Amino acid sequence: MRWRLTMVGLVVLAAAGAVSAGEPTPVSISPFAAPAPRLPVEALAPAVRDKVQAVLDKPTLSAKSVAETFNTDHAFYRYLLDHPDHAVKLWHKLGAKVSDMDPQGGDVYLWKDGQGSEVTWQIVHREKGLHVWYAEGKVKPGVLFAAHPFRAVAMLQYTEGVDYGGLPAVRHQVHFHVRCESRAITLAARVMGASAPHLAEQYLGQLQMFYGGLAWYVYQDAERAKKLFQDAGLPYPVAGRVQ
C-alpha cells in the first residue's frame, strides 16, 4: 500500500504509489447536492487573507477532483480533517508510505520530503461543508532541478447525508489553485496545456483518498478501528472528540 503526498506532483504539473488499500465502495446517496464552493475571503485572518486572494485571482493552475461518495461516520470524517497528522500515523500503521506532517501549532503543519522540498500547510477556514487549506513553500521536482517557491489554496467541499439504506455517507470534492512566480514554471504550464488539469485531477484524487479512504476503512469495523488507534498511540475519537 503506497501513498505519496500530492503537493510536489501538483506543483510539478503547474511547473511543467497511490493508496491501494481498496477503493471505498460507492453508494447511492440521497440527493443533497451542494453548490460550487465559495470561499469567504473576507472572513479569513488578516495574516493570510491577501495571500489567499492573490492565489485565487491569478492561479498558474486550477483543477478539481472527481467527486467521491462513501459510507463513514460524519463526526469521524471531520475529526480527520482537523487532525491530518493523526491521519498520517494511522496510514503508517496500515502500511502506507506517507510523509510526516509536523504540527507547528495553530492549525499549521510542516511537510518536508528530505530532498529540498519544504511546505507549510495551514487550515485557514472551516465551516459545515467546507474545509480550506493555504500552503506556501518551495518544492524541488527532482535532483537536477532547483526548488521553486509557490502558494496554493485547497478547498475540500463535502456534504453529509445518508445512503438509501439509511447509513451515514459523505460526498467530497477538492478544488485546488496553485500560483508559481517563476517564469519557467508558468511557461511549462502553458506547454502542458489541457493535459495539466487532467493530471492534477489524479493527484487530487490521492488527497481525497487520504481522508476518505481512511474514514471509510475505520467505519467498517469499530473494534478494528480502536485497535488501529491504540497501535498508533492515539486517543480514539468519539462523536468528533477524543477519549
Per the CB < 8 A criterion, the answer to whether 169 and 149 are in contact is no
Domain that holds residue 61: 7-25+45-225
Query: Residue 166 has what pLDDT?
Result: 84
Beta bridge partners of 135: 121, 152
Residue 199 lies in a domain: yes
Tell me if 239 is assigned to some domain: no
Q: What is the dihedral of CA 202, 205, 210, 212, to 10 degrees?
A: -160
217 C-beta neighbours (distance < 10 Å), count: 20
Total number of domains constituting the chain: 1
Do the domain assignments include residue 144? Answer: yes
Q: What is the pLDDT of residues 192-225, one digit of tens each?
A: 444 445 556 667 778 888 999 999 999 999 899 9
Query: Does 231 reside within a domain?
Result: no
pLDDT at position 142: 52
Residue 97 in contact with residue 3, Cβ under 8 Å? yes
Q: How confident is the model at residue 22 (pLDDT cuts 50, 70, 90)?
A: very low
Q: Which residues contact 104 (CB under 8 A, 6 or more apart)?
A: 110, 120
Model confidence at 185, pLDDT cuts 50, 70, 90, reads low
- pLDDT tens across 124-174, in order? 999 989 999 999 988 765 544 556 788 899 999 998 888 888 889 999 999
- Give CA separation, 180 vs 55, 136, 154, 186, 212, in Å: 9, 10, 15, 7, 28
Q: Which residue has the higher pLDDT, 127 or 27?
A: 127
Q: Average pLDDT of 45-63? A: 91
3-state secondary structure 113-162: CCCCCEEEEEEEEEECCEEEEEEEEEECCCCCCCCEEEEEEEEEEEEEEE
Q: ∠ CA(22), CA(28), CA(34), 5° rounding?
A: 100
Q: Which of residues 133 and 97 earns the better pLDDT score? A: 133
Q: What is the pTM of this model?
A: 0.79
The answer to whether the beta carbons of residues 59 and 174 sit under 8 Å apart is: no
User: Is a pLDDT exceeding 70 seen at residue 76?
Assistant: yes
CATH number at residue 217: 3.30.530.20
Cα separation, 28 vs 20, in Å, equals 23
* 185 within a domain of the structure (yes/no): yes
Q: What angle do CA 154, 159, 165 make, to 5 degrees?
A: 145
In this predicted structure, what is the pLDDT of residue 32? 44
Average confidence score pLDDT of the chain:
77
Whether the predicted pLDDT of 26 surpasses 50: no
C-beta separation of 23 from 214 below 8 A: no
The reply to whether 12 falls in a domain is yes
> Is 80 part of any domain?
yes
Residue 233 within any structural domain of the chain? no
Q: What is residue 191's predicted lDDT score, i.e. its pLDDT? A: 46
Name the one residue in this structure whose C-alpha cell is 502553458: 190
Query: pLDDT for 55-71, tens place per residue?
Result: 999 888 888 888 888 99
